[in-house]
Amino acid sequence: MQAPTPMVILEGREFRFTLANPPYEKLIGRRALGRTVAELFPKGEAEFYIPLLTEVYETGNPFVGKELLFTMPDENGVVKTVWIDIGYHPFRNEEGVIKGVLAIVHDVTESVLARRAIETSEEKLRIERSKLEAIFYGTDSPMVLFRGPNLVFEMANQKYLDMISNREVIGKTLIEALPEIAESAFPNIIQIVYNSGEPYRFLEGHTPIKNLKTGELEDRYFDTTFARITDHADKEFLVIGHAMDVTERVQSRKELEEAKHGAELATSLKSSFLANMSHEIRTPLGAILGFTDLLRDRGLSPEQRTQFIDTISRNGKALTTIIDDILDLAKVESGKLEIEKVEFSFFELIDDVVDVFREGAKAKHIFLRSNIVGEVPERILADPTRLRQIFLNVVGNAVKFTHEGGVTIKVSCEEINNLQRCKVSVKDTGVGMTKEQQGRLFQPFTQADNSTTRKFGGTGLGLALSKRLANALGGDVAIENCEYGQGCTFVFSFLVEVVQSRNCIKGDGSKVSSENELAPLTGLRILVADDSPDNQALVQILLKRQGAVVEAAENGRVAVQMATHRGYDLILMDIQMPEMDGYEATKVLRAAGYHKPIVALTAHAMAEERDRSLAAGCTAHLTKPLDRQELVKTVRDLVFRN
Ligand code: ADP
């Protein structure tokens, strides 16, 4: 028999090999012909196979065995192990009597080994995976596993799910499951780790996470690590991620930093506030003291006397306003502000406010209108003093910062829970503000622009106070719209109780021309540069009496022009002035070769002011309120010295 399949015939009850083809003998590594199974096979193998053969021999039923392990030493004593499939069939003579067994053997070693190898690697994977799962589900920190280039959620432990409101994420891509993180750095980082295989540690990564319970996006920070791992079975990459929510830590640190920054800012605001305040208080005070002093003179005409008293009174009132503002602000800040509830006419209040500014607006050739929109109650229960304060500040600012066009006030009210929420919008066509300037408003001690103080005066308290007052009245003050160079619309609101019927009012303003006056006299030629008309007048009067010819400039730029064209024996130079301040004007004059004495005048009584003015090129420095004798002496000394 030359068949390639190993095959034998085993005869008799002792199963003697009467036929064994070469493939069979090759398979078992020995010669078999003529021997019995018991002789040829090792004991253990014989004990296994003989009962099977006997069964076939006695019953005539064939037997099939699969993947049986067969071990036996070959002729050289080398033990050989093979896996075999066997088929035993009864072998009969011509009469049909069973004489033995025909055995057909298949060597299946290779395929068994190959399958075993696969099984082992699968087993390994299973072990790896269960290790991974143990880490995943056992750890206290959030972990996640993404599969494939689209970063599909493969696993996520409970801690991770807790962070994302227990969303269904498995099987979804990162972006499908967490759309809100698309704008953060995370998707990119995970993708880079996936593509490059380089692990990545990303500390305090910031992203919004939607809280599904509240529907709100919450700012969150995570310390994360991402690494790529290989999936042997699918030959696809996975990214394993570990994330710690460190939001609390980051936020408390930020709060600390902000508090520190806020404290620093508050300190610097406070010192600049103090400097401004000192200037604001000293300016009217200077006028009051100066004119009071002038009143002592016998030779004054009744008109002059009245004029001086008016000036003193006007400056006294300005001073009171500033001090009242500071006190009010202090009250609101410390929660001690008491809100009154009295009945009054809302329309009268609006009229009053418009009246206050009517003359000023006319003088500036700008219009001032008020409109009632819809139904507005006539008699209301509220705090008229506080309301008036807010009105005066917001409308006052609009008038102050508008030089062309005008100011439109619109008043409207709507009912809310048996109360009326009234809204006043004050729209101007004035200088406007940049976004940055707007951002600085409503804080006490700040103005949109530091040069504002110089140009327009004011302490930067008005809006801060108004906003707090409006808050106390159940409303607010806000900028509705404001553009640099285009004007602003401020809106303030407050709650009132209605007393009676509703009605409407209207107001308006018209244009009137204003006059200007200059008073030059003969004598020593002196230029006074000062933006405050009162101070200008005061210095002029003082010097005029000494026989000087005095001219005035309202700011540094004008002073420079006048001094270079006309030449003076001496210049009295105020430091804080709009357009060009005293330091700058002095520097420009000195650079242009102007060598006559320049005396700095400032409301700041600080040594550094003095040093700064001398450094700018001033010859001497005088502090307001001015001392009459000192002024005259300084001027005389300087002029004669030159
Ligand atoms: P102040 O008493 O200095 O006017 P406010 O708090 O009332 O203080 O105003 C602060 C600053 O806001 C002003 O100095 C000015 O720079 C800016 N501001 C307020 N209202 C207007 C407006 N209508 N147009 C332009 N700037 C304004």
Pocket test for ligand 1, best of 447, 451, 455, 459 (most atoms within 8 A of CB): 447
Minimum CA distance residue for ligand 1 atom 11 = 447
CA 339 to chain CA centroid, Å, is 35
Q: How far apart are CA 557 and CA 30, in angstroms?
A: 123
Question: The tokens 């001090």 sit on which residue?
Answer: 323
Decide if 609 is inside a domain.
yes
Please check whether residues 385 and 490 belong to one and the same domain: yes
Name residue 551's beta-bridge partners: 527
Residues 6+ apart with CB under 8 A from 184: 205, 206, 207, 208
Listed residues 475, 506, 537: the one ending a domain? 506
Please check whether residues 99 and 232 belong to one and the same domain: no
Minimum CA distance residue for ligand 1 atom 9 = 460
User: Any idea what the CATH number is for the domain that residue 310 is in?
Assistant: 1.10.287.130
- What was the pLDDT predicted at 515? 26
Q: pLDDT tens across 383-398, in order?
A: 988 899 899 999 999 9
Q: pLDDT tens across 283-331, in order?
A: 788 889 989 988 998 888 998 899 889 889 888 888 887 777 777 777 7
Range 330-352 average pLDDT: 83
- What was the pLDDT predicted at 249? 92
User: Ligand 1 mean position to 470 CA, how many Å?
Assistant: 17
Q: How far apart are CA 502 and CA 498, in angstroms?
A: 9
User: Ligand 1 mean position to 427 CA, how many Å?
Assistant: 13
Q: How far apart are CA 332 and CA 70, in angstroms?
A: 100
> Taking 80 as the threshold, does the pLDDT of residue 504 lie above it?
no
Contact assessment for residue 273 and residue 444, using Cβ atoms and an 8 Å cutoff: yes
- What was the pLDDT predicted at 14? 93
User: Any idea what the CATH number is for the domain that residue 421 is in?
Assistant: 3.30.565.10
Number of domains in the chain: 5
Please check whether residues 400 and 542 belong to one and the same domain: no
Helices (H) and strands (E) counted in the chain, each on its own, are 19, 25
Residues with CB under 6 A from ligand 1: 393, 397-398, 401, 428, 430-433, 441, 447-449, 452, 458-464, 488
End-to-end CA distance of the chain: 143
Q: How far apart are CA 442 and CA 421, in angstroms?
A: 21
- What was the pLDDT predicted at 448? 54
Q: pLDDT tens across 120-132, in order?
A: 888 887 887 788 7
- Domain range for 357: 338-506
- What was the pLDDT predicted at 606? 61
Contact assessment for residue 269 and residue 443, using Cβ atoms and an 8 Å cutoff: yes
- What was the pLDDT predicted at 503? 41
Q: How far apart are CA 339 and CA 385, in angstroms?
A: 9
Range 226-248 average pLDDT: 84
Contact assessment for residue 570 and residue 579, using Cβ atoms and an 8 Å cutoff: no
Decide if 355 is inside a domain.
yes
User: Ligand 1 mean position to 436 CA, how many Å?
Assistant: 13
- Here the tokens at position 423 are 């809204």
Q: How far apart are CA 60 and CA 92, in angstroms?
A: 9
> Which ligand 1 atom sits nearest the alpha carbon of residue 431?
25
Decide if 256 is inside a domain.
no
Please check whether residues 33 and 83 belong to one and the same domain: yes
Please check whether residues 53 and 200 belong to one and the same domain: no
Minimum CA distance residue for ligand 1 atom 19 = 397
Q: pLDDT tens across 565-579, in order?
A: 887 999 999 998 889
User: Ligand 1 mean position to 396 CA, how many Å?
Assistant: 9
> Which ligand 1 atom sits nearest the alpha carbon of residue 398?
23
User: Any idea what the CATH number is for the domain that residue 87 is in?
Assistant: 3.30.450.20
Please check whether residues 61 and 174 belong to one and the same domain: no
Query: How does strand 549-553 pair with strand 525-529?
Result: parallel
Q: Report the 10 Å Cβ neighbour count for 533.
A: 13
Helix 582-591 vs helix 556-566: angle between axes, to the nearest 10 degrees?
30
Please check whether residues 363 and 450 belong to one and the same domain: yes
Decide if 253 is inside a domain.
no
Q: How far apart are CA 386 and CA 80, in angstroms?
A: 108
Is the bond into 578 cis (omega within 30 degrees of 0)? no
Max Cα–Cα distance, the chain, nearest Å: 170
User: Which pTM was predicted?
Assistant: 0.43
Minimum CA distance residue for ligand 1 atom 25 = 432
- What was the pLDDT predicted at 505? 38
Listed residues 476, 506, 536: the one ending a domain? 506
Mean model confidence pLDDT for the chain? 85
Q: How far apart are CA 205 and CA 242, in angstroms?
A: 13
Q: How far apart are CA 196 and CA 410, in angstroms?
A: 64
Range 48-71 average pLDDT: 93
